[in-house]
């Protein structure tokens, strides 16, 4: 339970005890004044009723806040359980695939082309596993404020192009269209930029797949640089948008979802962008899909 909710709970409880004691005192006084003037008694009754209404209003607001907090805690707990289930599956899949590839290489005398193909697939699965583990570690570091940007002057255009080429090698069936200026320099943390890009592009591939191209656009503007990743996937339902950058949140229904993932990617992107002094936004793409835009400013 959050610290704020605990404080509200204790304050509300203390207020209720004090208020009941106060009412008891006034009721005793009121009993002793029954033989006095009716006007004085009426004033006392009005005061007690007024305080009662205030107490009731505060009690309702406090209970509502506690209910909202409990609901959030339950949702977070459910997302954490879903995260453990999905991560277990995500870890087992590349490990099982690599085990199969290695056993095939060990037991069969394959032609060079087939051996090369199996080794290539094993490397891709290993990279997928590495990205997942990195996300888990980065999420933990961000939560403990252990990740701080170490900026240096870099050619962002060249670096983003290199990242796109690596992505193409990992996903040869995915079409990536890049629109990058010749040179866009920026004081940036290369690890942050690489992690942000990898998570955004993997998210686009996960939902858009091989059905349509993914666009990567780098724009150089006055005192800032904007990186956009566009896909033509199914988009994000309106009811899911407020939770998009929350930890463990995944778009869609857990029982019917087919896409892989841990629910950490966009959370990590959002936190790294904030740590870097930038902003991240998302909007609908036309005719379908999503546009994520990361804006970083010059120091």
Average pLDDT, the chain: 78
Residue 215 structure tokens: 């666009």
Q: Is residue 79 part of a domain?
A: no
- Given this model, what pLDDT does residue 241 score? 83
- Give the three-state DSSP class for 280: strand
Which residues lie closer than 8 Å to 80 by C-beta, 6 or more apart? 248
- Given this model, what pLDDT does residue 33 score? 60
Q: Is residue 28 part of a domain?
A: yes
C-beta of residue 269 within 8 angstroms of C-beta of residue 200: yes
Indicate the pLDDT class of residue 5, thresholds 50, 70 and 90.
low
203 in the same domain as 267: yes
Q: Taken in order 150, 152, 157, 160, is the CA torsion positive or negative?
A: negative
Q: Residue 262: name the closest of 251, 274, 271 by CA.
A: 251
Least confident of 82-86, 139-143, 174-178, 205-209: 82-86
What are the DSSP calls for 202-215, one per residue?
A: HHHHHHHTTSS-EE
- Given this model, what pLDDT does residue 173 score? 85
- Given this model, what pLDDT does residue 90 score? 67
253 in the same domain as 168: yes
Q: Is residue 80 part of a domain?
A: no
172 in the same domain as 60: no
Residue 193 structure tokens: 């930029």
Last residue of one domain, picked from the residues 124, 143, 162? 143
Q: Is residue 78 part of a domain?
A: no
- Give the three-state DSSP class for 245: coil
156 in the same domain as 139: no
Query: What tens digit of pLDDT does each residue of 161-217 get?
Result: 999 998 888 888 888 999 998 788 888 888 899 999 998 998 888 877 677 789 999
Indicate the pLDDT class of residue 256, thresholds 50, 70 and 90.
very low
Percent of the chain with pLDDT over 90: 12
User: How far apart, in whole angstroms, are the C-alpha atoms of residue 84 and residue 246?
Assistant: 16
39 in the same domain as 93: no
- Given this model, what pLDDT does residue 293 score? 94
- Bigger pLDDT: 161 vs 59: 161
283 in the same domain as 170: yes
User: How far apart, in whole angstroms, are the C-alpha atoms of residue 246 and residue 262?
Assistant: 12
CB atoms under 10 Å from CB of 37, counted, come to 9
210 in the same domain as 121: no
Buried b (16+ CB within 10 A) or exposed e, 219-228: ebeeeebbbb
User: How far apart, in whole angstroms, are the C-alpha atoms of residue 275 and residue 294?
Assistant: 13
Which residues lie closer than 8 Å to 65 by C-beta, 6 or more apart? 5, 8
Highest mean pLDDT among 22-36, 84-98, 248-262: 84-98
CA 131 to chain centroid: 16
102 in the same domain as 61: no
CATH number of the domain that 160 lies in? Answer: 3.30.565.10
257 in the same domain as 218: yes
Give the H/E segment covering residue 229.
strand 224-230
* pTM, to two decimals: 0.64
Percentages (nearest 5) of helix, strand, coil residues in the chain: 60, 15, 25
95: region left, alpha or beta (phi > 0 left; psi from -120 to 50 alpha): alpha
| Residue range of the domain that includes 126 | 86-143
Q: Residue 90: name the closest of 268, 257, 213, 231 by CA.
A: 257
Q: Is residue 161 part of a domain?
A: yes
125 in the same domain as 188: no
Residue 279 pLDDT greater than 80, yes or no: yes
Indicate the pLDDT class of residue 239, thresholds 50, 70 and 90.
confident
- φ, ψ at 276 (rounded to 5°): -85, 0
100 in the same domain as 43: no
CATH number of the domain that 109 lies in? Answer: 1.10.287.130
- Bigger pLDDT: 281 vs 26: 281
The count of C-alpha atoms lying within 13 angstroms of the C-alpha of 283, restricted to the half-sphere facing its C-beta, is: 6
User: How far apart, in whole angstroms, are the C-alpha atoms of residue 67 and residue 70?
Assistant: 5
User: How far apart, in whole angstroms, are the C-alpha atoms of residue 169 and residue 126?
Assistant: 13
Count of structural domains within the chain: 3
253 in the same domain as 173: yes
């Amino acid at each position: 339970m959050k610290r704020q909710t605990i404080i509200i709970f204790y304050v509300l409880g203390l207020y209720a005890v004090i208020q009941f004691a106060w009412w008891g005192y006034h009721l005793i006084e009121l009993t002793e004044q029954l033989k006095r003037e009716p006007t004085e008694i009426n004033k006392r009754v009005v005061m007690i009723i007024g305080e009662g209404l205030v107490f009731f209003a505060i009690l309702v607001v406090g209970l509502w806040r506690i209910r909202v907090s409990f609901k959030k805690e339950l949702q977070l707990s459910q997302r954490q359980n879903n995260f453990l289930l999905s991560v277990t599956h995500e870890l087992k899949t590349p490990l099982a695939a690599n085990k199969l590839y290695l056993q095939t290489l060990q037991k069969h005398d394959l032609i060079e082309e087939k051996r090369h193909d199996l080794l290539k697939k094993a490397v891709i699965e290993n990279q997928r596993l590495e990205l997942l583990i990195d996300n888990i570690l980065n999420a933990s570091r961000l939560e403990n404020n252990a990740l701080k940007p170490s900026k240096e002057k870099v050619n962002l255009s060249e670096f983003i192009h290199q990242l796109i080429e690596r992505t193409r090698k990992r996903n040869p069936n995915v079409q990536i269209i890049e629109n990058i200026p010749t040179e866009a320099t920026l004081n940036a943390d290369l690890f942050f930029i690489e992690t942000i890009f990898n998570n955004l592009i993997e998210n686009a591939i996960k939902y858009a797949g091989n059905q349509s191209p993914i666009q990567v656009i780098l724009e150089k503007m006055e005192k800032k640089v904007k990186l956009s990743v566009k896909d033509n996937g199914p988009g994000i339902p309106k009811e899911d948008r407020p939770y998009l950058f929350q930890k463990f949140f995944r778009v869609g229904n857990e029982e019917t979802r087919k896409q892989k993932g841990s629910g950490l990617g966009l959370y990590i992107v959002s936190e790294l962008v904030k740590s870097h002094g930038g902003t991240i936004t998302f909007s609908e793409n036309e005719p379908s899909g999503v546009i994520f835009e990361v804006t970083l400013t010059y120091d």
